[in-house]
Structures are given as structure tokens and as C-alpha cells.
Structure 1
Amino acid sequence: MPYLRLETNVPQEKIPASFPSELCEIVSKSLGKPLSYCAATVVGGVSMAFGGTNEPTAQATLMSIGALGVAENKKHAKAIFEAVEKTLGIPPTRMYISFQNAPTSDIGYNKTTFHDLFG
């Protein structure tokens, strides 16, 4: 159910093919959610600027059913920012993360919704 989408102006060919899987593991651990439910997408080569420059930058959206909040998001942000900086060389001052806490009825899975599966 957690989904991380990362968009960056770093060229796709400079992004390791394993990075989405690594982000799934980071998100799973940080959120305390099963890895089998985690998904991550990394889209490189996006035409984007941050602070008026085209230096390496990124934006991310982390959606989850629960496990998000004031204190929790600080922990998730730290883990994601560290991974992006280590792997893509993007400083944490050149990236935003948007956190979206989704209701179980708004996320479909396995021909139904998580509301039907978990309430």
C-alpha cells in the first residue's frame, strides 16, 4: 500500500536499475509496512528546476494508509533524503517530499480496495 514516486532531472541512464527496489525497502522499514505491499517509481530525465536553477533536483510523493504524521514524516523524510543524496547526489536542500495519508477506501488492490481487505 505505500507508494513512493520520485521525479528528478538526473538522466535516467544515471539512475541505478536497483534504486526503486532499494526505495521499497527503505519505505517498508520506515513505515513498518510489509515489503510485499510497497511500490516505488523513479522517473529520471524530467525537465525541472529548483530555486531557479537546473542543478540536480527531485520531488517525491509518499502515499501510505496510515503511519504518516508530524513525528513519523520526519523519520520517513530523513530516510528518503539520505537515500536520494547517496544514490543520485541530490542535496536535501534541492528536493521536496509530499506526504499523503490515504483512506483504505481510496486504494485499490487485488480486484477490491484495502477497505474490504482490512476495514
Structure 2
Amino acid sequence: MPLLQIFTNISRQEIPKNFGPTLASVLIGSLRNKPIESISIQITSDQYISLGSNDDEPSAIVYLRSIGSMDLDDNRKTVRSVTDFIHSKIGIKTDNIRMVLQNHSIDTIGKELKI
């Protein structure tokens, strides 16, 4: 059950329609054995973000949490595809996108009243 969260300083109006569903389809290309229906995406816009001494350019901090589908090769592919997607769809420069990937154990994520 992958959860991708994007925190960005751009406005909600700058995020295109169907951004989330399209990004979910990008994710299934790099996450092993994860159906698109299991992917959740949350976008939090209008945030104050400072990257080093820069706080006035469009930027994003991205968190991806998943169970058992992340290794070094998968992570490299995922970071590239998500970063490229964000850059192409909302124009944030790739060097202003930071991404944190967390591989969770099966007992730390719940869905439908189950762990």
C-alpha cells in the first residue's frame, strides 16, 4: 500500500487536473507488485519550503512509504521517474525536489480495518 506525499510551495491552482492518478501510473512502473488501486497520493500545496539558503523558488519535498517493494535499484528508478514527472507537469526544477523513501514492514501500515 504505497503512500506518496508531496509538500510543495506552489499553489493548488498550479497542480494540473489528474496529477495524482497520472503519477500513480508512473509509480507502478518502478514499484514491484503494487496495483494502481493500492497507491495513495497526497499533495500539500502552498507550503513554506527552504532548501539551503533558497526559499523563493518552486520546490518540493516528497515522501514515499511502501511495504517490501524498495531496494537500491528500484529506489533509483523511482526517484528518477517521480522527479522527472513533477518537473514536467508542474515545472519544479529537478534540483529543487528532495525525495525520502521508506520501506515499511507489513505490521506498520493498515487498510480496511486490517494491518
TM-score, shorter chain, exceeding 0.5: yes
TM range (shorter): over 0.9
1:1-119 superposed matches below 5 A: 1-32=1-32, 33-53=34-54, 54-113=56-115
Could you list the runs of 5+ residues in structure 2 that have no partner in the other structure? none
Structure 1 contact 2–27 (Cα < 8 Å) conserved = no
Shift of 1:47: 1.2
Compare the two structures and name the one with the higher helix fraction.
1
What value does the CA root-mean-square deviation take over the aligned residues?
1.0
Could you list the runs of 5+ residues in structure 1 that have no partner in the other structure? 114-119
- Note the alpha carbon deviations across 1:81-111, whole angstroms, 9 max, x for none: 1100001111111111000001001010111
- State the AA in 1 paired with 2:13: E
Q: Tell me, what secondary structure is at the counterpart of 2:37?
A: helix
Q: Tell me, what secondary structure is at the counterpart of 2:41?
A: strand
Give % identity: 26
Q: How many residues align?
A: 113
Q: Give TM-score, length-normalised by structure 1.
A: 0.90
Q: 4+ residue stretches of structure 1 with deviation over 2 A?
A: none
